[in-house]
Amino acid sequence: MGYVKPFLINISMLLSVSFLALLVYKQFLRRLPHFVLRIAAVLFAIALGWLSMKFAFTLPSGSMFDLRFVPLIVLAFLLPEAPLLLLLAGIGIGIGRLFYGLDTRAWSGFLNLSLLGVLCAFLSVYLKKVRWPSPVNILTVITLVNVFNVVNIALFGVIPAGTYLRTVVPVLFPLSFALSVVFAFLIHLTRQDLYHEQETNRTNAKLLQTTTELQIIKEQLEEKAQHLFVLSQYRVEFLANLAMELRIPLNNIIMIAEIQRGTSEEQQSAEERQALFDIVFDSGKQLLELCNGIQDLAQVESGRITVECEEVNLSEFPEILLHKNRRLAEAHELKLTFAVIQPIPAIFYSDGMRVERILNNMLSSAIQIASSGLVRFEMRRVRPGEIPYDKNQHNYKEWIALTVSFTQSSDLWEPGLPPEHQSIRKEIRLGLSISGEMARLLSGYITIEESDGAVCFLFYLPNLSRETIAADPVGSDAAVG
């Protein structure tokens, strides 16, 4: 019975320290790299082996019996992919025996643990290949390590083999085997619980991430649905007002035609004829803009807008836009200015007609919104990475920012406006929405910045060079501002 108490103290100490280490791992160490955790496990097994020797049963001859090999058993099924570490653990535990003297008994203990390390390294490789169930693997390692421990002590120990096998083994082998099983299975169950906890945490993290992503998608869909609803409202209101918008310029043209038909050239001065021609010109231009708006709306709704990529001369746009919007700006008592902030490429690849349509819509909208002063049109080159919001900006090497800045008239957005002002407001919003869809098809996007009454329409446009088009089709996944 003298062996039982030290062995029970050994197993109690091993369990206590192991569970304390498990708590430390769960609280502080689980996020460490895998290789660091494996090295820590080997060092901890060596420390447990050394600690077990402190509570060993020592014979009068100086021979020590304890459970120093049990941590090696546990390490064998915790690190099945690291046989070298198991060998080092066996040698490390064996070195602890040399601290109790460098006599024959100490070297025999060191050799015993080193050979058990070799055995566990071999078993880790073999059991990984046969793929037996975990309980079978644990029992196999426990049985073979306990048997080899007995054989090693019988062959290399200082106690005579016959005496050891007759008097010590019948008591110690069943006891060490049973305690090894208890310790190993408790550690195994704890490991299984820890594994399930980690799996649960990973599953919860994935569910949380999925929930967050779904919430983001939901918000994006709601925002898109709201955008489509507003666009639909603008479309309905635009079409409802279309008959009146068409009637005014047509009536002007018909009225002037009747006046001219009944009036000779002698009855009109040159100034009167010029005034009538101006009315006809403005009415025709208004009709053309309405037709363009109807065409754009129909193409956006049907999704049949095609992009015709061609060489575009950006330097021509200021003159074109000035020519088209001069009369409108004069009617609102505004001054149009144009500037190139940085040198821009002479030739740019894009759909010139669509770009001109978008810029003209931005400029005419700004003229109608602006309160007084001037409306400024700028062109500047921007680099990928300087463009906000667009996740595809690095797909294109060259970008141009086309901006229209002005001071807005707050009266246009106040409630209770006269019908004619409400019509203007609806047309502006619809036009900007359609322009945003067109910009998306050109792999660019439109955004609006406001600050203390100052407003800036920004149109980011990429250079759709031949190489870029081949790598990333036009409008494949561009953002919509």
Q: Does position 451 have pLDDT exceeding 50, yes or no? A: yes
The rounded mean pLDDT for the chain is 77
Which residues, listed in sequence order, are joined to residue 401 by a DSSP beta bridge? Answer: 380, 460
If we measure between CA atoms, which residue out of 311, 320, 356, 358 comes closest to residue 338? 320
Could you write out the three-class secondary structure of 50-115? HHHHHCCEECCCCCEECCCCHHHHHHHHHCCCCHHHHHHHHHHHHHHHHHHCCCHHHHHHHHHHHH
If we measure between CA atoms, which residue out of 439, 400, 382 comes closest to residue 315? 400
- What does the DSSP 8-state code read for residue 370? B
Q: Which residue has the higher pLDDT, 164 or 471?
A: 164
Please report the pLDDT score of residue 473 as a whole number.
Answer: 38
The tokens for 123 are: 């078993």
State how far the Cα of 273 lies from the Cα of 279, in Å rounded to an integer: 10
The tokens for 382 are: 């921007």
If we measure between CA atoms, which residue out of 309, 294, 254 comes closest to residue 276? 254
**How wide is the angle at C-alpha 409 spanned by C-alphas 404 and 410, nearest 5°?**
125
pLDDT, tens digit, 9 for 90 and up, residues 77-114:
777 778 888 899 889 998 988 888 888 888 888 998 89
Phi, then psi, of 184 in degrees rounded to 5 = -65, -45
pLDDT, tens digit, 9 for 90 and up, residues 180-232:
787 777 777 777 777 777 788 888 889 999 999 999 999 989 988 887 777 67
Q: How far is residue 384 CA from its own chain's centroid?
A: 19
The tokens for 454 are: 């100052």
Please report the pLDDT score of residue 217 as a whole number.
Answer: 92
Q: List, in order, residues 6 or more apart from 155 with CB less than 8 Å away.
A: 161
pLDDT band for position 250 (50/70/90)? confident
Task: For residue 372, give the amino acid letter.
Answer: S
If we measure between CA atoms, which residue out of 95, 109, 27 comes closest to residue 62? 109
Mean pLDDT of 366-387: 82
Please report the pLDDT score of residue 242 as a whole number.
Answer: 63
Q: Does position 400 have pLDDT exceeding 80, yes or no? A: yes
Phi, then psi, of 314 in degrees rounded to 5 = -65, -30
Q: Does position 24 have pLDDT exceeding 50, yes or no? A: yes
Q: Which residue has the higher pLDDT, 22 or 98?
A: 98
Please report the pLDDT score of residue 342 as a whole number.
Answer: 74
